Structure 1
């Protein structure tokens, strides 16, 4: 199966697109905090001054510059300054432990670190020059504030963001300007433009923050900077109401919590995106029942494909039917469901999802072997020289042309001699109306003695009536759906599944099946 969206024309550099918005909307608010509003023109002038300071320090063609800053006005200005200077930015989360920060600095060999005086102590010894953005600092208040004329095109690196590596060493994904611009300028999957208000809710090291930031700033919208906004539903609701948020992204886990415990805080939001894990179809239905004028978008994409490679938009009325699909390719992106030798599989048959097109990252920083392994030559492209990214995600194309995510390929296990896909079990259990979510994990080292353990999250209303009876009903129903070797032998209900900071199920924190 192949699905493609082809972008029109060559996208410009990120900061050039921003400068075009400055020319159109110089006095419009670009950044908003609890007590500050900064216009497009003001942001641009400050970024130009800082960019010249960075140029004087030797920042130039794709030179990595590390940014250790909380989500703030300073952070956005610093990002733009690095891009205007011709460099690429390396976001560092202020909550990371020093060892993690040191590993990223070592990996990128950044010669310059932009931070604040109160955050600098979080950095261990390093050989980079430090630029401090303290209040009324020279980079923001003095110097030429005109746009720079540094040659930067769509294929230049924009940022390097680090993800977990199986070896324990973080791997840097090198993302190009063109990948970002193709995602947020004139998108075919979401409405972005002047008047849109988007909060930066995710970590600056999570690639969805690139959508939040550039979705607003490359379209004349307003980016809301509210650190800690997701610390509680009350805080999140206050941010949404006080700033008039119109479009926002939530991890699937937080989305489920909001729908269950405070769906009213989303009043006024016109477009809600969720991802990280597959959002529950039942929660999407409940959301749209509560807010029938809202558009819900399930966004799918690995960091290596620049935030989103596919999206599925849901508008009411909508009937919940299993997991929400990941949808169709966004503009400028190709999706292929292929077998082990890169041949298209028939519709309805599972295969690995491969991604191609303008959103692909350049590869992994200083990891040529891993880059060659995951970014493979495209045998299906009309023009030679194309690449495909091997996602490791097992997917299937549905009869209507959309793509549904099944599971990670590397989550296959053997039980009693049979090869079992845990994702298939989870997808089946989720179809039962009494189950809101579930994780299935193997327990035991040998295939002969291995048990499958299910961790379901039951519908609270059903569980309150009789949790044991409800669970027995689910288990009996599942035995009618799957072969015996695929039915978990141990079940342990949870109030909610443990999640990582990026909204994915944290399988390491699933409780021991036989613990008290």
Structure 2
């Protein structure tokens, strides 16, 4: 990745804008911007921010509903040298203000509709409702901000397993280099690519910058249920189970969660399906091209590393010792695409990001790795098989239960789209716990006897409960 390591995110777009200025770059409903127009309005935002003292090391909050201005605010912040912090309008006002305060945001780009609820924010505010109107009155910055690859590009808050939001700090270098190398997998010049994922979900970075780095068109949409014609759709697999997939679709990019048979069967055979494995703490790491007519068990494969610049290991979660091929352990990711860590969370950062003892001879940047919390094993075909989360291994009556194994068994049953296995109180008087499976839709005809075969007795749920609506995070998971 060395030849790409000097890149920063917004220069990928700027290079394309110089090459194909008149091609469409961004579309929202009936409105659109060419590359030249998008560059100009983003420069106007950058100029406004620069004149307010925003520069390298600054954080800029972005509070926007979907539309052209959401992408313009992101590009303008990066051009000013700042890292952007996406905020969801649906979050409670107090939560947004706490996040802005923790990050030390000096500026907030918002729609005027959120003026009142953001009144207590004391930093500079840019109300951005019409990017073209702003460009008519705001000149570009007097000087172009110098941005280095290891400067922060964005700060994304994720709730994680604890429910307490934590901010992940990601730098330009690894993200930009990864996009530069792999954008061709999902788009090329003229490709219409969906941007329907939440911009507080790390996948939005690829949704925006992969098309903009090659001359594609970013089609901003609210969701995949009411989507205009596109060539490439990026989405969570579980969302496909609730949508009709157009036959003209060329590619589906699955990310964020493992695909299931219920999501695959809805995809036309002419559509190419790619499963890309990544996380907020590290950019895209592995790729699996899925055969929609293939064996359901292969859906658990997350594929192979995207390149030799994505080093992966499997370690024992407790001892941190490396495991041999075929052994089940925790996936560890290294390389430039690993983030800087969690803002103002030093203890959590030191636990999740550490200097790998097996890379003791490497320099600091090369030896720092991230423990994903994902259970995998390296198979004979050199693909990594995803087996669930480390914390998903439950203990019941002295037996260790791998929830992912049981859930995969359930979703292989015809009619079951999603499944979750948990421990619940069974006999309150005796204080006994039992294994309970929740499946959707509730109409799925599933009984304990229908999936008993192939599972050890201690991994067979005591009862199965049907459910139609799952609680979901802002990213749709």
Same fold (TM over 0.5): yes
Determine which of 454, 457, 467 is the counterpart of 1:484: 457
What is the aligned length?
470
Structure 1 gap ranges (5+): 1-5, 505-516
- Structure 2 CA distance for partners of 1:441 and 1:472, relative to 1, 3 Å: closer
- Structure 2 CA distance for partners of 1:10 and 1:472, relative to 1, 3 Å: closer
Determine which of 20, 31, 36 is the counterpart of 1:25: 20
Report deviation, 1:148. Answer: 4.5
Matched, 1:450 2:428: no
Q: Partners of 1:363 and 1:335 in 2: how far apart?
A: 18
Determine which of 235, 252, 260 is the counterpart of 1:250: 235
Residue in structure 2 matched with residue 508 of structure 1 by the alignment: none
* CA RMSD after TM alignment: 2.6
Name the stretch that deviates more: 387-396 or 480-489. 480-489
Report deviation, 1:406. Answer: 1.2
Residue in structure 1 matched with residue 98 of structure 2 by the alignment: 103
Q: Over residues 82-106 of structure 1, what are the superposed CA-to-partner deviations in whole Å (9 max), with x where a residue is unaligned? A: 1111111111112222022112111
Contact 1:48 1:147 in 2 (8 A): no
- Structure 2 CA distance for partners of 1:500 and 1:203, relative to 1, 3 Å: same
Report deviation, 1:431. Answer: 4.3
Q: Over residues 325-377 of structure 1, what are the superposed CA-to-partner deviations in whole Å (9 max), with x where a residue is unaligned? A: 11122243222111132222222221001111121111111222211111011
Determine which of 213, 223, 247 is the counterpart of 1:229: 223
Q: Give the TM-score of the pair, scaled to structure 2.
A: 0.91
Q: Over residues 427-465 of structure 1, what are the superposed CA-to-partner deviations in whole Å (9 max), with x where a residue is unaligned? A: 3444455654421110139997110001234797xx5xx
Residue in structure 2 matched with residue 296 of structure 1 by the alignment: 273
Contact 2:46 2:141 in 1 (8 A): no
Structure 2 gap ranges (5+): none
Q: Partners of 2:53 and 2:363 in 1: how far apart?
A: 37
Residue in structure 2 matched with residue 163 of structure 1 by the alignment: 158
Contact 2:275 2:287 in 1 (8 A): yes
Matched, 1:503 2:476: yes
Contact 2:187 2:193 in 1 (8 A): no
- Look up the SS of the partner of 1:52 in the other structure: helix
Matched, 1:346 2:346: no
Describe how 1:103-252 pairs up with structure 2 within 5 A. Answer: 103-123=98-118, 125-135=120-130, 139-145=134-140, 148-164=143-159, 168-187=163-182, 190-226=185-221, 228-230=222-224, 233=225, 235-236=226-227, 239-240=228-229, 245-252=230-237
Contact 2:264 2:292 in 1 (8 A): no
Residue in structure 2 matched with residue 512 of structure 1 by the alignment: none
Determine which of 353, 358, 362 is the counterpart of 1:383: 362
- Structure 2 CA distance for partners of 1:440 and 1:168, relative to 1, 3 Å: closer
Q: Partners of 1:272 and 1:166 in 2: how far apart?
A: 28
Determine which of 447, 466, 474 is the counterpart of 1:471: 447
Matched, 1:400 2:370: no
Report deviation, 1:172. Answer: 0.8
Report deviation, 1:21. Answer: 0.5
Q: Give the TM-score of the pair, scaled to structure 1.
A: 0.84
Q: Partners of 1:34 and 1:286 in 2: how far apart?
A: 26
Contact 1:85 1:148 in 2 (8 A): no
- Structure 2 CA distance for partners of 1:220 and 1:188, relative to 1, 3 Å: closer
Name the stretch that deviates more: 188-197 or 56-65. 188-197
- Structure 2 CA distance for partners of 1:248 and 1:30, relative to 1, 3 Å: same
- Structure 2 CA distance for partners of 1:498 and 1:379, relative to 1, 3 Å: same
Matched, 1:370 2:359: no
Describe how 1:398-437 pairs up with structure 2 within 5 A. Answer: 398-432=379-413, 435-437=416-418
